[in-house]
Amino acid sequence: MIRTEFTEQFGVDHPIVCGGMTGLGTAELISAVANAGALGFLTALTQPSPEALAAEIARTREMTDRPFGVNLTILPTIDPVPYDEYRAVIVEAGITVVETAGSSPAPHLPDFKAAGIKVIHKATSVRHALSAERKGVDAISIDGFECAGHPGEDDVPGLILIPAAVRQLSIPVIASGGIANGQGLAAALALGACAVNMGTRFMATTEAPIHQNVKDQIVANDERDTVLVFRRFHNTARVVRNSVSEQIVEISERPDATFDDIAELASGARGRSEVLTKGEMEGGMWWAGQTQGLIHAVAPVADVVDEVIADAEAIIGRLPTLVS
């Protein structure tokens, strides 16, 4: 068993996190992650209302008695999100750990701290991580350029970003982006992180609440099968390469392009409905990281976690033999 500052501080068996994923962070997946001894996060905004989040927390507790958390992603939206109400549900439900992402977590920290809730903030740069540390978060999930979703605008991969963050931060660092196996966990620990976050790997699991076609496509894809969209609009995102994402890139490169020109193609609701739910792989834009090239089978969450830990332990155990 691998023990780290993360496992001690957050009360889990393994230094593995399944961070918040819109449309996927529901009771079926997160309870399986918890039962496997890792730390998973329900995604608050996957639920259509604060009341629905309360029900999803209760449903997860029916499936596991192990620790799990809630992700609260703070982003500007066309329709205002009742963040205060979602936060109140998290506090009232007795959740002990929250993952924040997007904008500054500062407005939410007083209530979380008063309730004794630990906060992990996801950052894509050392400067943003340091800012979050000063605001009072308990740990940082540092997201490298390889990740699915938004890697920021600095294009720094994990091999550089992780030790750079560890060097300057005094709170635990979770390595995120580009990790899907035991080699990645061992490497992240060697770089100074105390845990890893895996997203795409948990998409290709039996319990992930998405269409089997999506899981099979992740296995079939390799590390080249992502594209970067929204670069022109300084909101870079890594998504899976398909006809829709390539069309978004093509339109975005036109000199007079605006976001309105790609808004319908890039609709998150369309991606969740057509791709994740119906399994129409060319039906919309959908998210996965370069770790697709490291995922070779769909498996139960427990098997994924066990294999990652066993492989990492084997690698760590061999390392002393390299020193004479």
Per-residue pLDDT in tens (0 to 9) along the chain, 324 residues: 999 999 999 999 999 999 999 999 999 999 999 999 999 999 999 999 999 999 999 999 999 999 999 999 998 776 789 999 999 999 999 999 999 999 999 999 999 999 999 999 999 999 999 999 999 999 999 999 999 999 999 999 999 999 999 999 999 999 999 999 999 999 999 999 999 999 999 999 999 999 999 999 999 999 999 999 999 899 999 999 999 999 999 999 999 999 999 999 999 889 999 999 999 999 999 999 999 999 999 999 999 999 999 999 999 999 999 998
Report the relative pairing of strands 139-143 and 237-240 from DSSP bridges: unpaired
Task: Tell me, yes or no, whether 51 and 186 share the same domain.
Answer: yes
How many Cα atoms within 13 Å fall on the side-chain side of residue 311? 14
The Cα angle at residue 194 between residues 42 and 19, in degrees rounded to 5: 15
Task: Tell me, yes or no, whether 268 and 311 share the same domain.
Answer: no
Task: Tell me, yes or no, whether 227 and 177 share the same domain.
Answer: no
What is the count of structural domains for the chain? 2
Q: Which residue has the tokens 């390539």?
A: 246
Across 48-81, b (16+ Cβ under 10 Å) vs e yields: eebeebbebbeebbeebebbbbbbbbbeeeeeeb
pLDDT at 75: 84
Q: At what angle do helices 27-35 and 301-318 cross, to 10 degrees?
A: 40
Classify residue 216: in a domain, yes or no.
no
Task: Tell me, yes or no, whether 231 and 204 share the same domain.
Answer: no
Task: Tell me, yes or no, whether 106 and 238 share the same domain.
Answer: no
CATH number of the domain enclosing 152? 3.20.20.70
